[in-house]
Each structure stands twice: as structure tokens, then as C-alpha cells.
Amino acid sequence: AVELEGFTVTKEMVSFKKEKKMKFEEKFLPSVIEPSFGMGRILYALLEHSFYVPEDNKEAVVMRFNANVAPVKCAVFNLQSNGDFLPVVRQVAASLTAAGLSNKTDTSGQSIGKRYARTDEVGTPYGVTVDFDTLKDNTVTLRERDSQSQLRVPIADIPPLVTGLVKGWETWAKASAKYPVVERA
């Protein structure tokens, strides 16, 4: 006999027997619930969906962010390290900032191709390049990251055009019909 909290349990009260039962279904209710939505998962999905390696250049990597969610909407470059380009680069950057577009200038002495690649890696969808023609006719080259095609656009049209492209009010195809396409060399 065993005494448990004021009760006595005898041998006759307890019995054990072995049985085999067939179970067709077993239900399990977890005791821990993990929420499936969080900022980390959303950012991971965005990054994984946006990353790609171009077929023509296996060493390059590109973040193909939608322009609406890209942290930097437009980059502004000078074609070469020419002192005459810098005021125009600052003017274009200031006009983009005034239009509410996040932008970054890159006036380093590296080749324009390397600077384009650097902005492609961080997901910047558009790039404006100030070159020698800019000093003559007040136009710049606007480059689109995904197609790498370029248009020749008046400086005054850059902020509204890039805003329209970012917001989805304008398409690259419509802009290509409106402005001259720059042919690749």
C-alpha cells in the first residue's frame, strides 16, 4: 500500500495490462505559435526576388528593385573628371532632391561603366550622366538599369520624367518614344 496525500492506494486498486491499438489518425496541437510575417521575412523575400546575375556578364550582380521600393531612385554621374561637369551634376542632384527623389552623386574618377555597375549592384533604377553634349545643349543621358538603354533628355525634364517612371505614371517605352534613344557604341 502507498499513502498519497491522505489516501491509501492498495495493490488491488491498481492493474496494468498490455494492449495493441490501431490508430488511424493522430492530431497534434503545437504549444508554440510562430507568426509568419515579420519585417525580416519581407525584406529577405524582396532581396531574394530582386537579385540576379545577367546572362551576358556572369561576374556582375544586379538588384532589380522595383523603382518604387528602391532606396535610391536615381544616380547622377559626370562622364569624366572635368571641372565643368560638377556644377551641372550638383544642379541635377538638387533638382531631383527638390522633386522628392532620393539620389546619389558619383563623381569619382572611375570609368562610367564601373560606376553604372556599382549602382546596379545596389538597385538604383535610373542614372543621369552629364557629358560634353550637356555643356552645349543642356541635355543629359538618362539610363535605365534593367534594359541598359539610354535616352537624351533636357535637364529640365529629368525630375518630372524620373518621378513619373518611379511612380508608374510613365513607362520607359513612352519615354523612349518622346526622347531620342542613345545608340550604344
Rounded Cα gap, residues 167 and 163, in angstroms: 6
Is 93 a residue whose pLDDT tops 90?
Answer: yes
Of 17 and 140, more confident: 140
Q: Minimum mean pLDDT among 9-13, 86-90, 147-151: which range?
A: 9-13
Residues of the chain with pLDDT > 70: what percent?
95
- What pLDDT, on a 0 to 100 scale, did the predictor assign at position 115? 92
Cα(77)–Cα(129) distance, integer angstroms: 5
pTM of the complete model: 0.75
Chain-centre distance for alpha carbon 162: 16
Q: What is the pLDDT of residues 2-48, one digit of tens each?
A: 888 888 888 888 888 888 888 777 777 666 656 666 778 788 888 88
Least confident residue range of 35-39, 50-54, 77-81, 110-114 = 35-39
* Residue 135 phi, psi (nearest 5): -70, -25
